[in-house]
Structure 1
Amino acid sequence: MTATATSDRVTVFHMFGEVFAYTTQSESPLTIGEVGIVGVLDPSTSPRLMWRLAEAHCRERDQTGDHARWILNQATRARVVGSGRLDDLRQSEWKFSPDKGYRFGHLYSNHETLRTGFLEVAGLDLAPLIECARAQRHHG
């Protein structure tokens, strides 16, 4: 299932030489953005990369919920403090193809659910963003 939407804000960021985007979506009439969406932007990159990075940078004993929190932390860190932020787009139209999700069971960074997958942002020129991300690649 592919979802198309327009968000008030899409944050584009990089980590470990890859480009990602973070936005929110609501599934209730409250429209509070309770679903955090983090997606890879480069179609040649597997959406599972985020989960592999989380596994590599979390403790060995950590479980899926810890990995989901790590992914959401990277996205909100890019949005709030600008760590790795490449662009902050307003009123952007996007398409999302989900790959994996996690329901927290409580609010975490104001989200009940994290969804990861492939995110395509209309009109976004990926080439310079990918080049910038790869030039600033850091391995942990």
Structure 2
Amino acid sequence: MSSNDESLTGRSRVTVFAMFGTVFGSATHHLDERRIGDVAVIGPLTPAVEWPRLWQMARSCGRPAAKDTELAQWILNQATRAFVCGSDRIAQFHDRGWKLKAGGKRVRFKTTYANRDHLWTGNLAVDDLSPDQVAERPSRYRA
């Protein structure tokens, strides 16, 4: 686990989804020219929600003794579920610009997990989203 001291800008597939009322974005980042999407980039898009909320959700939904790697796997599972199943998906873009702001948390998996080697979380911005797309959603559940 490490912190992210620099912002990161990219252009890739983006999934926008709601979880417990908060809207999140999930993007793919490539560490080299192979462009295999080895990094999942996930963060909140709802105004005034900060990235630690994602980790708090994972903590409250996961095992009490879960370490950061297991929590990161839970986070990645939620984004993968939204991408694959469409559960709570608000939008899906094949090619969209995004920016992960400085700060946040990075986790490297010991082995590839859900086709990713890393999870980078932080405050995320996705190009050209409407206020309706990022607005807080009603939710039956809270985490």
Normalized against structure 1, the TM-score is what?
0.91
Deviation at 1:128, TM superposition (A): 1.2
Q: Which residue of 2 aligns with 1:135?
A: 138
Q: Which residue of 1 aligns with 2:18?
A: 14
Q: CA RMSD in A?
A: 1.4
Is 1:99 the counterpart of 2:133 in the alignment? no
Contact 1:15 1:137 in 2 (8 A): no
Pick one of 22, 46, 50 that aligns with 2:50. Answer: 46
Is 1:32 the counterpart of 2:36 in the alignment? yes
Q: Aligned partners of 1:3, 1:62: CA distance in 2, in Å?
A: 28
Q: Aligned partners of 2:21, 2:134: CA distance in 1, in Å?
A: 8
Q: Aligned partners of 2:7, 2:142: CA distance in 1, in Å?
A: 32
Q: Which residue of 2 aligns with 1:85?
A: 89
Is 1:108 the counterpart of 2:120 in the alignment? no
Q: Deviations over 1:34-69 (max 9, x none)?
A: 001111112411101010000000011211111000
Q: Which amino acid aligns with 1:51?
A: W
Is 1:121 the counterpart of 2:126 in the alignment? yes
Question: Could you list the runs of 4 or more consecutive aligned residues of structure 1 that deviate by over 3 angstroms after TM superposition?
Answer: none
How many residue pairs match? The answer is 137
Contact 1:41 1:119 in 2 (8 A): yes
Deviation at 1:137, TM superposition (A): 4.6
Contact 1:43 1:118 in 2 (8 A): no
Identity %: 37
Normalized against structure 2, the TM-score is what?
0.89
Q: Deviations over 1:2-41 (max 9, x none)?
A: 111111x100000111000111111022110000111111
Structure 2 alignment gaps of length 5 or more: 1-5
Pick one of 2, 6, 19 that aligns with 2:7. Answer: 2
Q: Aligned partners of 2:140, 2:91: CA distance in 1, in Å?
A: 17
Tell me which protein shows more helix as a share of its residues.
1
The 5 Å alignment of 1:51-90 reads 51-90=55-94
Q: Which amino acid aligns with 1:111?
A: R
Q: Which amino acid aligns with 1:86?
A: I
Structure 1 alignment gaps of length 5 or more: none
